[in-house]
Chain A
Amino acid sequence: MVNQENELLLTSPSEKKARFKRKRDKVIAQFIIWTILIVMYIPILVLIAYSFTTADNIGTWTGFSFDLYARLFTSKTGNEIMVALGNTLLLALASSLISVILGTTGAIGAFYSKKRTRTAIESVTQIPVVNAEIVIAMSLTVMFVFVGSYLFGGANVFSFWTLLAGHVILSLPFVYLSVKPKLQQMDPALYEAALDLGCTQRSALFKVVVPEIMPGILSGFLLSITLSLDDFIVTAFTRGSGLLSGEKTIETLSTLVQAKIKKGPIPPEMRALTTFILIAVFLIVLGITIYNNKAAKKNKVRKGRE
């Protein structure tokens, strides 16, 4: 009976009109979404399209070839790019690891501190988050020069380590802020229970607290990597001589590309690297999305059971 009624309703003219309207709205919405998406990707896609030709400039097509991909691994510019890529990845991993360790311990420590201490730590944490990158970069550099001239007798302290400190400062507060809500959500009885069951404070921390806040730690880590990979200003100000292949000044992808595009178009070999970057980023982000969706579904099932 109910079904029949429904069908009758569905086929009534007004319902048909509503269905048509819904469908039309969806088509318009999808059209808007895809237009913005495509326009957003035009520069990157054009760059990738021109990685299959050897022309120096975008806009001139000199025939299809994989030459640039070979040149990426053999030419002088290609070599520069590869060293910069190595530096960039090394820096991102090192600074993110340090940020995660310092930020997580900081968040745990602050969480169990007195309220006044915690408020003080949190206000200082906010500073690099809201501060302009150029001010962070400049203030750090001025301090390094200051330290070099007053504590090390005019020595140049700029090196991989000053650069590393700069990148840690960029991402550290974000690790703190991603771990903090997980600590707040955690059931405080878990830690007490672990102590009652014979854990030492330290092992309770590692076996109970750390696993509970792991999602926060991971997203803090990912965020740190993103911030470090994308940074130009702090790198340009705080870098010194490089660790890899004895460069005079360390080049990351950002600083290398900036130096090149100041003089002319993006170097052709860079176009080939862009293809790899896009593929790598796509795979990583896809993996994370699928993982998150699965985790969300699992959570739903778990909640349903409860």
Chain B
Amino acid sequence: MQSTKKKGLKRFFSFKRKYLAIPYSVFLALFVIVPILIILVYAFTDTLDDGTLIFSFKALTSFFTSPSKINVLVVSLFIGILNTLICLLIGYPLAYLLANNKYNKNKILVMLFVMPMWINFVLRTGATRDVLSFLGINGGNHPYLATMIGMVYNYLPFTILPLYTTMLKLDKSQIEAARDLGCNPVQTFTKSILPQSIPGIVSAAEMVFMPTISSYVISDTLSEGKVTLFGNIIYLNFSQSQWNEGSFMAFVMLILVGITMLISKKFDKGEARISANNLW
């Protein structure tokens, strides 16, 4: 009798590998799931004067009836898409050249392109602002241009990395076969290189799009507060203690995140990002 009890206790306390996931899961539950649930509660409630929350769609109606908030959504999406496109347009050919043995054999050069990621981005943003205002482009006269330049400067290294790793994996014999079978350079690109590099494009776009929309420092610094993106308005709502409005904006962002996640789900995201980071 006693021995079975002892055994049971021992079994209960004995080490099992799957127990190792417990601290991780608890941490994620406490600091990821609970905060998001609280945000959802705030997004669909209203705070009374004594601090109690009552269920209400006030934040929702204030979002859809306020032209300035809709404007933030439109401007954010526009800048997000434009920045993603510019970064891809520069990053894609660059990554192709860097990964191609014919044009570049220097690994250190690749490293130089991603090195800005390791230099504090607020510092880089400040430097970009100071140099731009020396050149006569500042938030006062060209807020959108200055913001765009700052965005491209900041996010280009993030696009180069996933694109470069995809380019390294391009099936060279397939490209050669396309050429041998009579494809001209344009056809070779559209029929062989482009389809093969789509996972890289998707993970590059993913690394630029959402962070651009939700960025705070870059738009705030380079446009001198004239360009308001999602990040800026959430920050503003929060610093003015408008938690319900801020939470609803965060909820809208969560929906946007969900949409981009669904779009990129087909392309096995995450993997590319990690393999990109395993480069060094």
Contact = CB atoms under 8 A, between A and B. Distances in A.
Contacts of B11: none
A106 B21 contact: yes
B121 A176 contact: no
Contacts of A165: 31
A113 B113 CA distance: 40
Interface string B43-80: 00000000000000000000000000000000000000
B118 A285 contact: yes
A251 B20 CA distance: 34
Nearest to B130: A58
Interface stretch (B102-110, B140-148, B187-195): B102-110
A33 interface: yes
A66 interface: no
Contacts, number: 272
Given A134-B231, A232-B216, A178 B120 contact: no
A289 B111 contact: yes
Contacts of B128: 43
Interface string B114-130: 11111111111111111
Interface in B161-193: none
A135 B255 CA distance: 11
Contact of B108 (A36, A59, A107, A289): A289
Interface stretch (A3-11, A67-75, A241-249, A261-269): A261-269
B17 A205 contact: yes
Contacts of B231: 132, 134, 233
B215 to A, nearest CB: 8
B250 interface: yes
Interface of B: 15-25, 27-29, 31-36, 38-39, 42, 90, 93-94, 97-98, 100, 102-104, 107-109, 111-131, 134, 153, 156-157, 206, 210-211, 213-214, 216-217, 220-221, 230-231, 234-235, 238, 243, 246-247, 250, 253-254, 257, 260-261, 270-271, 273-274, 277-280
Contacts of B90: 36
Contacts of A44: 116, 119, 124, 127
Given A178-B277, A254-B122, A261-B129, A102 B254 contact: no
Contact of A281 (B118, B130, B211, B247): B118
